[in-house]
């Protein structure tokens, strides 16, 4: 399997499968719940769209990343959360309904925010006049590869919920396979400088992961949101759709730069370990809180 086949054919297919899987887990109610959680959704969107890019920008300069790795880190910051965030939120006893709402909202908004943030990053870090073009043909391509699979998945979920449940696991497995293939393609393409790149950006990716989880949890708590909602936002902000970021970086139709895919690839591996630790600590804290609340209720009664 040649790298050209991976980038030209497999990446668009991978994106479509990922978006289909996302659509299978969404309903119109997920978008309607924005009016149920207005403050929580607003806080989550501020963390995702404003605070995370600022953190990534600061870390890129603090670690002295070269331009292409810096753009890769910014691309990661611009990528929305994924279905994995919902799973970890469930394990952490977070508000999973809020996670699903944020995933749905962020996925739609990223169609505008991701190209905007990446183009600004390209101009700042590389200054080469490069950009992700958004001419009509590109808008149609994004629509075909992203929105159409999401719409198909949502339609299947609405009309054939049993079929959607049966497809969920195979599509998730297929998405994971695509993730490994895309990461493998990036590794092969950049193998000559891979070890050096890992040394350059590995610590930055880890710090950014911890900062993302921290911002996603601490900011909602400062905004006086309930603990379960803070945990949900922490998971949504800390677990990015790394496959999407890698695909955008590697696709010849978009950035076509394997080096930019390295930060998302490293992050995609690290986040499972940090998210698991965060889930364990959050679940313990919430269980203890529930026990104290029940004990206080018995004393009052």
Residue 1 is predicted with a pLDDT of 37
Percent of the chain with pLDDT over 70: 73
The predicted-structure confidence for 203-225, as pLDDT tens digits, reads as follows 999 999 999 999 999 999 999 99
Residue 297 is predicted with a pLDDT of 61
Mean pLDDT of 7-32: 67
Between 68 and 12, name the one with better pLDDT.
Answer: 68
Class of domain 3-300: mainly alpha
Mean pLDDT of 14-34: 70
Q: What is the 3-state secondary structure (H, E, C) of the chain?
A: CCHHHHHHHHHHHHHHHHHHHHHHCCCHHHHHHHHCCHHHHHHHHHHHHHHHHHHHHHHHHHCCCCHHHHHHHHHHHHCCECHHHHHHHHHCCCCHHHHHHHHHHHHHHHHHHHHHHHHHHHHHHCCCCCCCCCCHHHHHHHHHHHHHHHHHHHHHHHHCHHHHHHHHHHHHHHHHHHHHHHHHHHHHHCHHHHHHHHHHHHHHHHHHHHHHHHHHHHHHHHCCCCHHHHHHHHHHHHCECHHHHHHHHHCCCCCCCHHHHHHHHHHHHHHHHHHHHHHHHHHHHHHHHHHHHHHHHHHHC
Residue 34 is predicted with a pLDDT of 66
**Whether pLDDT at 194 is above 90:** no
The predicted-structure confidence for 48-85, as pLDDT tens digits, reads as follows 889 999 999 999 999 988 888 999 899 889 888 766 77
Between 66 and 37, name the one with better pLDDT.
Answer: 66
Domain extents in the chain: 3-300
Least confident range from 11-25, 105-119, 137-151, 257-271: namely: 137-151
Question: Of 118-132, 163-177, 274-288, which has the strongest mean pLDDT?
Answer: 274-288
Between 54 and 298, name the one with better pLDDT.
Answer: 54
Between 144 and 280, name the one with better pLDDT.
Answer: 280
Between 55 and 153, name the one with better pLDDT.
Answer: 55
Mean pLDDT of 77-101: 76
Between 274 and 134, name the one with better pLDDT.
Answer: 274
**Whether pLDDT at 298 is above 60:** no
Q: How confident is the model at residue 6 (pLDDT cuts 50, 70, 90)?
A: low
């Amino acid at each position: 399997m040649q790298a050209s086949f991976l980038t030209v054919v497999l990446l668009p297919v991978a994106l479509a499968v990922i978006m289909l899987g996302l659509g299978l887990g969404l309903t119109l109610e997920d978008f309607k719940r924005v009016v149920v959680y207005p403050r929580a959704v607003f806080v989550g969107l501020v963390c995702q769209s404003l605070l995370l890019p600022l953190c990534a920008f600061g870390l890129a300069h603090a670690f002295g990343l070269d331009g292409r790795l810096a753009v890769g880190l910014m691309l990661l910051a611009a990528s929305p959360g994924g279905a994995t965030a919902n799973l970890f939120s469930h394990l952490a006893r977070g508000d999973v309904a809020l996670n699903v709402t944020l995933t749905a909202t962020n996925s739609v908004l990223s169609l505008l925010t991701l190209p905007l943030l990446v183009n600004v990053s390209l101009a700042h870090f590389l200054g080469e006049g490069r950009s992700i073009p958004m001419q009509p043909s590109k808008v149609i391509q994004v629509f075909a590869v992203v929105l159409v699979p999401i719409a198909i998945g949502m339609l299947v979920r609405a009309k054939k919920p049993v079929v959607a449940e049966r497809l969920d696991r195979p599509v998730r497995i297929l998405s994971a396979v695509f993730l490994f293939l895309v990461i493998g393609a990036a590794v092969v393409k950049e193998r000559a400088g891979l070890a050096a790149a890992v040394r350059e950006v590995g610590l930055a990716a880890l710090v950014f992961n911890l900062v993302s989880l921290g911002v996603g949890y601490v900011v909602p708590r400062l905004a006086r949101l309930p603990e379960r909602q803070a945990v949900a936002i922490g998971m949504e902000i800390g677990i990015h759709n790394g496959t999407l970021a890698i695909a955008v970086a590697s696709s010849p139709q978009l950035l076509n730069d394997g080096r930019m895919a390295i930060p998302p690839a490293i992050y995609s591996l690290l986040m499972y370990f940090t998210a698991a630790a965060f889930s364990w600590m959050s679940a313990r804290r919430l269980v203890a809180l529930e026990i104290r609340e029940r004990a206080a209720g018995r004393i009052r009664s």
